[in-house]
Chains A and B, each alone.
Chain A
Amino acid sequence: MIEMIKVSRTYDPNITALSDISLSIATGEMFFLIGRSGAGKTTLLKLICNMETPSNGLIEVAGYNINKLKGKDLAHLRQKIGVAYQDFKLLSNRTVAENIAIAMEVSYKKPRAIRHRVRDLLEQLQLVDKHDTLTGELSRGEQQRVALARSVANSPRLILVDEPTGNLDASTTKRVMELLTRCNKAGATIVIATHDDSIYQQGNHRIMELRDGNIHSLTRGQLS
């Protein structure tokens, strides 16, 4: 699903966020990115969804060189990639339901299907009572779940999640991981950037640790 060959990203003035990253993530895999703040996890996710372009190297997603895609082709690929951003990117003047629905509206899903899917996701994430609440009025933990719900709403083939449990308690973390695991079992490839070792230690998924923009280790988690 994702191929990265010698990918680097530098920012002016001469700050290297990622250096010579080569990586292959298979379709249907759940992959964890770990590392301290500033290690390059978020930059890596942004490069995969073409929010940023690499300074060097090649990135292929679903067989497409994502940096060469433009216009409709790029839009259609992005519809198949769900991203839960670290800063959530929610529209504070829209309701929870409207925020989640956006991802489905752009691919012209039927209004009934959108309503049904939104309600289903809100139930899974225990946010049903917030259906008509403006996202600006939610706590950070709730906003984080809304962002996650939006990223999976359109049943994307690739889900990129940045710190999905940073503001959540243990039981909500469990629900979030259950949702992501269900998406993974349904065939989605999932890349999770996290500090939270409780979510990656309990499986045999691959875990890549970044340090100062370089791959420090690539291991497998242990089955509990």
Chain B
Amino acid sequence: MNFWFAVFRQAGRNLRQTWTSQFMTFLTVSLSVLIFAFFYLIYTNMLGAGDRLSDDLRLIVYLEEEPGPQMQEQLRRKIQNFDDVEEIHFISREEAYQRFARQLGENSDVLKDMPKNFLPASIEVIPLKSLRGYNQIKLFSEYLANLPGTEKVQYGQEWVERFYYFTRLLTIVVFLSGTLLILTATFMVAYTIRLTIMGRQDELELLKLVGATNSYIRTPFLIEGILQGFMGSIIGLTALYGLFQWISSHFAGPGLLSLFQFSFFPPIVIFLIILSSICLCSIGSYTSIRKFLRI
């Protein structure tokens, strides 16, 4: 019989003897992982949706007058002075009229009596991907608003602002729920191990007296913590996957969810969640061993 066989057998005995408290801890860990992973999944999907929407982000600078070629060059230079941009398009009044007419499609008749220069000339600025944070866009739009001859800058401020604050709120929720659930899971595992240790004080004392090494006595408790973390995270993530599939199949179609293109965690994130859960439960187990297992 070797060390690992002996400690795994001992861990099995522990689990058998204290299965009720072990089961409760297992449920707590599973729920903690489920709740945290749920918020984290929403958060990552919102970020993904934000990324996709920011691909279409462009700032429209409405001008008082249509700029000549010299003025266009000057404006282009000034815009690039702030930062490099992906693209700059100058849209003349007539081009604006034609675009509008295209957008109206069958209803373009309504424009029949309107002069072709009734829309203002504008500059369409597509910022670099690296310059698409809310604050950067806000600063950029303020800079553009101060360019000579600028009447107004538009980029869907309200929508971008709301989306930004929503993701900020979600970040806080993920952070808080993560912290609280980490503490809960760690505490529960520590408490269960503590109960097991206290309930088996006689056995542990005997083991010590018959010559069990510290690692022989401690390792089974550590294995329990690792198992709690592993099993808890697997079950939590499986439940979340089930929930995700259910939502995907029941809310698929041309709704809000299809706009966001919800996707589950990639394998590396799943691996990291499981690993974190194992680490936290091991820490809980280890602190109890250090504190209550006097050997």
State whether the Cβ of B3 lies closer than 8 Å to any Cβ in chain A.
yes
Distance in angstroms between the alpha carbons of A72 and B3 in the assembled complex = 14
Q: B6, A102: Cβ atoms under 8 Å?
A: no
The secondary-structure label for the interface of chain B is: helix
Q: Give min CB distance, B173 to chain A, whole Å.
A: 46
Chain B 104-143 interface mask (CB, 8 Å, partner A; 1/0): 0000000000000000000000000000000000000000
State whether the Cβ of B210 lies closer than 8 Å to any Cβ in chain A.
yes
> Which stretch from B187-195, B211-219, B227-235, B283-291 is at the chain A interface?
B211-219
Considering residues B203, B206, B214, which has the most beta carbons from chain A within 10 angstroms of its beta carbon?
B206
Contact of A102 among B2, B3, B206, B214 (CB under 8 A): B206
Q: A51, B209: Cβ atoms under 8 Å?
A: yes
Q: B213, A108: Cβ atoms under 8 Å?
A: no
Q: A108, B207: Cβ atoms under 8 Å?
A: no
State whether the Cβ of A206 lies closer than 8 Å to any Cβ in chain B.
no
State whether the Cβ of A159 lies closer than 8 Å to any Cβ in chain B.
no
Chain B residues within an 8 Å CB radius of A107: 211
Chain A residues within an 8 Å CB radius of B212: 75, 106
Q: B1, A105: Cβ atoms under 8 Å?
A: yes
Chain A residues within an 8 Å CB radius of B206: 89, 91, 102
> How many chain-B residues does the 8 Å CB contact rule pick out?
18
Distance in angstroms between the alpha carbons of A89 and B210 in the assembled complex = 11
State whether the Cβ of B202 lies closer than 8 Å to any Cβ in chain A.
yes
Q: Give min CB distance, B15 to chain A, whole Å.
A: 15
Whether A75 touches B211, Cβ cut-off 8 Å, given contacts A91-B202, A105-B6, is: yes
Considering residues B202, B210, B211, which has the most beta carbons from chain A within 10 angstroms of its beta carbon?
B210
State whether the Cβ of A6 lies closer than 8 Å to any Cβ in chain B.
no
Q: B211, A79: Cβ atoms under 8 Å?
A: yes
Whether A49 touches B209, Cβ cut-off 8 Å, given contacts A89-B202, A110-B1, is: yes
Chain A residues within an 8 Å CB radius of B205: 89
State whether the Cβ of A103 lies closer than 8 Å to any Cβ in chain B.
yes
Chain B residues within an 8 Å CB radius of A80: 211
Chain A residues within an 8 Å CB radius of B211: 75-81, 103, 106-107, 154
Whether A109 touches B1, Cβ cut-off 8 Å, given contacts A71-B213, A78-B210, A79-B210, is: yes
Chain B residues within an 8 Å CB radius of A38: none
Whether A71 touches B214, Cβ cut-off 8 Å, given contacts A49-B209, A89-B206, is: yes
Q: Which residue of A lies closest to B2 (CB)?
A: A108
Q: A108, B210: Cβ atoms under 8 Å?
A: no
Q: Give min CB distance, B246 to chain A, whole Å.
A: 44
Chain A 57-91 interface mask (CB, 8 Å, partner B; 1/0): 00000000000000110011111110100000101
Q: Give min CB distance, A199 to chain B, whole Å.
A: 24
> How many chain-A residues does the 8 Å CB contact rule pick out?
27
Q: Which residue of B lies closest to A114 (CB)?
A: B1
Q: B203, A91: Cβ atoms under 8 Å?
A: yes
Q: Which residue of B lies closest to A73 (CB)?
A: B213
State whether the Cβ of A203 lies closer than 8 Å to any Cβ in chain B.
no
Give the residues from 1 to 23 in chain B that come closer than 8 angstroms, CB to CB, to chain A.
1-3, 6, 17
Distance in angstroms between the alpha carbons of A77 and B211 in the assembled complex = 7
Contact of B216 among A106, A109, A111, A150 (CB under 8 A): A106
Q: A83, B203: Cβ atoms under 8 Å?
A: no
Q: A75, B1: Cβ atoms under 8 Å?
A: no
Chain B residues within an 8 Å CB radius of A72: 213-214
Give the residues from 90 to 109 in chain A that come closer than 8 angstroms, CB to CB, to chain B.
91, 93, 102-103, 105-109
Q: A78, B214: Cβ atoms under 8 Å?
A: no
Distance in angstroms between the alpha carbons of A102 and B10 in the assembled complex = 11
Q: Which residue of B lies closest to A89 (CB)?
A: B206
Distance in angstroms between the alpha carbons of A103 and B209 in the assembled complex = 9
| Interfacial residues, chain A to chain B (CB-CB below 8 A) | 49, 51, 71-72, 75-81, 83, 89, 91, 93, 102-103, 105-111, 114, 150, 154
- The 6 A-B pairs at the shortest CB distance, nearest first, are namely A79-B211, A78-B211, A106-B212, A75-B213, A103-B210, A108-B1
10 contacts between A and B (CB under 8 A): A72-B214, A75-B214, A79-B210, A91-B202, A102-B210, A103-B210, A105-B1, A106-B213, A107-B211, A150-B210
Q: 12 more A-B contacts (CB under 8 A) besides A76-B213, A107-B211? A: A49-B209, A72-B213, A75-B213, A75-B216, A79-B210, A83-B209, A106-B211, A108-B2, A108-B3, A108-B6, A109-B1, A114-B1
